[in-house]
Amino acid sequence: SQKIEQNSEALNIQEGKTATLTCNYTNYSPAYLQWYRQDPGRGPVFLLLIRENEKEKRKERLKVTFDTTLKQSLFHITASQPADSATYLCALDFGNTGKLIFGQGTTLQVKP
């Protein structure tokens, strides 16, 4: 079965630096991949979607890359702020059916 791995250890960075989060998967590539942000006690909030034929997507300070050879997606937050502190989840749809399989999430802590 498909496995999705995100860094289980929390990522601690200084304000203003770029945060880079990793999402790795096994076996075959998904039709598309999404990134979500989740704050404590709240549901996930959609950030970006990237399809298998796309290499990179940007939205304001956010950038997502998708490398089907490495079976990996990277999520970057540039000029990070303490307000960016949250858990970030990657979610993959392998059959283009809307069935999202989530990674376990990586907690980001941005220190002022």
Partner 1 sequence: EAGVAQSPRYKIIEKRQSVAFWCNPISGHATLYWYQQILGQGPKLLIQFQNNGVVDDSQLPKDRFSAERLKGVDSTLKIQPAKLEDSAVYLCASSLWTDSEAFFGQGTRLTVV
Contact residues for partner 1, defined by CB under 8 A: 4, 31-32, 34, 41-46, 49, 89, 91, 93, 96-105
Closest distance to partner 1 from the beta carbon of 25 (Å):
13
Residue 91 or 108 having the CB closest to partner 1:
91
Closest distance to partner 1 from the beta carbon of 112 (Å):
26
Q: Write out the two tokens for 75.
A: 């999520």
Cα gap 106→108, rounded to integer Å: 6
Which candidate, 94, 89, 90, 76, places its Cα nearest to that of 31?
Answer: 94
Residue 43 or 112 having the CB closest to partner 1:
43
Residue position matching structure tokens 């076996």:
27
Residue 47 or 112 having the CB closest to partner 1:
47
Residue 18 or 26 having the CB closest to partner 1:
26
Which candidate, 91, 78, 86, 96, places its Cα nearest to that of 35?
Answer: 91
- Which burial class, exposed, middle or buried, applies to 89 when counting CB atoms under 10 A from its CB (0-12, 13-18, 19+)? buried
Closest distance to partner 1 from the beta carbon of 38 (Å):
9
